[in-house]
């Protein structure tokens, strides 16, 4: 009898649970700020539901991101480890199999450095914004973002190049402003930037790899040291790699930087 009563009480709760999608990505709200500075668009978003934005993405994702993924998957095998191996083989020919950069590829491919996985909600939201400036038919470009968290809130500062460029644009947050954010309890949980594909590269390096470049590693180190960065993320719009401070130090040492 007791069992029957508790089961009946449980059913509505179970039904409610099943009807609630597991952290569906919220729709991208309007940015609080949008300004154009030195050929770069600087955006600021204030977002609620931090855990959802930082959670694994679930449908719906922005339509232009889905289009981009379909396009990329039509061009090549976009498995992040296949892409790494493919680029590593090219680097081996140019720099030699014992070179530091090739060793870095191997560490990441073996899973000894960084963690590779799918995108999270805030990444596909930013990728969707990026693709508004850089649709599929124009050469790739990069964006950067500093993601701050305080409890259930996020502040996302992002920089988008209006024109094509193969370097990450600078997110402009003055040291004093960053200090003030920290004083007010905001933690810089992530630095994110993207690595575009180059499917038309005549030399066969289609890029889109989630390995940090030398300048990336310098940026990561600076942010870990001066701004208490939590993690550095590199995405290609389909998958991301996440690096902590120890990962960054190991790659810097491996490459002798």
Considering the complex, what minimum distance in angstroms separates the CB of residue 157 from Zn ion?
Answer: 17
User: Which one, 25 or 123, has the nearer CB to Zn ion?
Assistant: 123
Nearer to Zn ion, 57 or 216 (CB): 216
Q: Which residues would be at the binding site for Zn ion (CB under 5 A)?
A: 213, 216
Q: 67 vs 56, 116, 186, 253, CA distance in Å?
A: 19, 22, 34, 39
Question: Which residue of the chain is nearest Zn ion when measured via CB?
Answer: 216
Residue 131 vs 232, nearer CB to Zn ion: 232
Please, what is the minimum distance in Å from the beta carbon of residue 144 to Zn ion? Answer: 9
Residue among 34 and 201 whose Cβ is closer to Zn ion: 201
Task: Write b or e for each residue in 133-165: b if 16 or more Cβ atoms lie within 10 A of its Cβ, otherwise e.
Answer: ebeeeeebbbbbbbbbbeeeebbbbbbbbeeeb
Smallest distance, Zn ion to C-beta of residue 194, A = 8
Strands 231-235 and 187-194: parallel
Pair of tokens at residue 107: 């560490």
Reported residue count of the chain is 257
Give the C-alpha separation, 40 to 169, whole Å. 7
Q: Which CB, 54 or 192, lies closer to Zn ion?
A: 192
Distance of closest approach, residue 142 Cβ to Zn ion, in angstroms: 7
Q: What DSSP line would sit under 26-45, residue for residue?
A: PPPPPPSEEEEETTEEEEEE
> How far is 73 from 207, CA to CA, in rounded Å?
14
Which one, 7 or 167, has the nearer CB to Zn ion?
167
Choice between 46 and 222, CB closer to Zn ion: 222
Rg (CA), the chain: 20
The three-state (H, E, C) secondary structure of 117-183, written as one string: EECEHHHHHHHHHHHHHCCCCCCCECEEEEEEEECCEEEEEEEEECCCECCCCCCCCCHHHHHHHHH
Which residues fall within 8 angstroms of residue 22, CB to CB, at 6 or more apart? 58
Cis peptide bond upstream of 60, omega within 30: yes
Q: How far is the CB of 107 from Zn ion (least distance, A)?
A: 17
Closest separation in Å from C-beta 138 to Zn ion = 19
């Amino acid at each position: 009898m007791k069992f029957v009563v508790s089961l009946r009480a449980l059913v509505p709760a179970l039904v409610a649970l099943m009807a609630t999608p597991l952290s569906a990505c919220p729709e991208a709200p309007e940015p609080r700020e949008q300004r154009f500075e030195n050929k770069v668009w600087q955006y600021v978003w204030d977002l609620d539901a931090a855990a959802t934005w930082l959670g694994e993405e679930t449908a719906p994702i922005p339509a232009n991101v889905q289009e981009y993924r379909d396009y990329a998957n039509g061009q090549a095998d976009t498995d992040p480890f296949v892409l790494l191996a493919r680029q590593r083989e090219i680097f081996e020919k140019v720099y030699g199999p014992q070179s530091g950069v090739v060793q870095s590829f191997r560490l990441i491919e073996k899973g000894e450095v960084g963690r590779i996985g799918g995108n999270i909600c805030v990444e596909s939201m930013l990728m969707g914004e990026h693709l508004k400036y850089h649709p599929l038919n124009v050469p790739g470009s990069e964006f950067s973002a500093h993601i701050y968290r305080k409890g259930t809130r996020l502040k996302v500062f992002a920089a988008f190049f209006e024109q094509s460029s193969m370097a990450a644009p600078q997110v402009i947050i003055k040291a004093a402003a960053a200090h003030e954010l920290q004083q007010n309890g905001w933690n810089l949980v992530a630095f994110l930037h993207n690595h575009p594909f180059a499917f038309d590269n005549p030399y066969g390096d289609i890029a889109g790899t989630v390995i940090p470049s030398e300048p990336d590693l310098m940026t990561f180190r600076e942010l870990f040291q001066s701004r208490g960065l939590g993690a550095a993320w590199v995405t290609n719009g389909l998958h991301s790699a996440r690096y902590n401070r120890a990962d960054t130090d190991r790659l810097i040492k491996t490459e002798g930087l």
